[in-house]
Chain A
Amino acid sequence: QAVLTQPASVSGSPGQSITISCTGADNDIGRYNYVSWFQQHPGKAPKLIIFDVTDRPSGVSNRFSGSKSGNTASLTISGLQPEDEADYYCSSYTSSARGVFGGGTKLTVL
């Protein structure tokens, strides 16, 4: 079961910005700058879009950005586009040398 807490759903209109939160604890998000975000379209494998809290892999649009404050990480998508409609998952490293995911957030582009 998910240890990191995300909103189940968010929505926005094309061109708008949205933010997805990911709340953990002192021994995961609060301790390490090892938060990643993944985008998953139906029937596809997840895709890495943010790593190490704020960094973007080569080829990922700069409309995606990440941040962290305390035990909560956030993903912001600016200039929403229809193709951004997908599920988004956060993940973090933990003090027991394990990984953990959030429950996922379904983004709807209205």
Chain B
Amino acid sequence: QVQLVQSGAEVQKPGASVKVSCKASGYTFTDFYIHWVRQAPGQGLEWMGWIKPQNGGTNSARDFQGRVAMTRDTSINTVYMELTGLRSDDTAVYYCARGPLWPRFDYWGQGTVVTVSS
């Protein structure tokens, strides 16, 4: 069965970076994009960007350009999302989700809570 398993909760200080992993199983890793979506406490969903595991190509939302980096390791079917220059308003649950190029997300990771606090 398809599964996306994310790394555990993180607490970081303002200005630091966080790197969240998402390990895929149950399907051909290079057949689908992985998108990143976050949700701040009590707020809605926010699309952050995608990575194409087949070739490592990426695209990100304008609000995150210059601060987000998405990479993949095809040997272990894992993608990573690193967010730098953390601020308190980056406190959120971060999800990875599987889909095609467009946001048709049929499987989601369990979410990773990232807390930014001094």
Contacts and interface: CB of A to CB of B under 8 A. Distances in A.
Interface string B74-118: 000000000000000000000100000111111011110000000
B104 A48 contact: yes
Contact of B103 (A45, A92, A104): A92
Chain A to chain B: the 8 pairs with minimum beta-carbon distance, closest first: A93-B102, A99-B103, A34-B102, A104-B44, A99-B47, A45-B108, A91-B103, A51-B104
Contacts of A48: 104-106
Contacts of A91: 45, 47, 103, 105
Nearest to A33: B102
Contact of A99 (B44, B50, B95): B50
30 contacts: A1-B46, A32-B102, A34-B102, A34-B104, A36-B102, A36-B103, A36-B105, A38-B45, A40-B45, A45-B108, A45-B109, A46-B45, A46-B105, A46-B108, A48-B106, A51-B104, A51-B106, A52-B104, A87-B44, A91-B45, A91-B47, A91-B105, A96-B59, A100-B47, A101-B37, A101-B47, A102-B44, A103-B44, A104-B44, A104-B45
Interface of A: 1-2, 32, 34, 36, 38, 40, 45-48, 51-52, 57, 87, 89, 91-93, 96-104
A89 to B, nearest CB: 5
A99 B102 contact: yes
B61 interface: yes
A32 to B, nearest CB: 7
B35 interface: yes
Contacts of A96: 59
Contacts of A57: 106
A24 B88 CA distance: 29
B105 A38 contact: yes
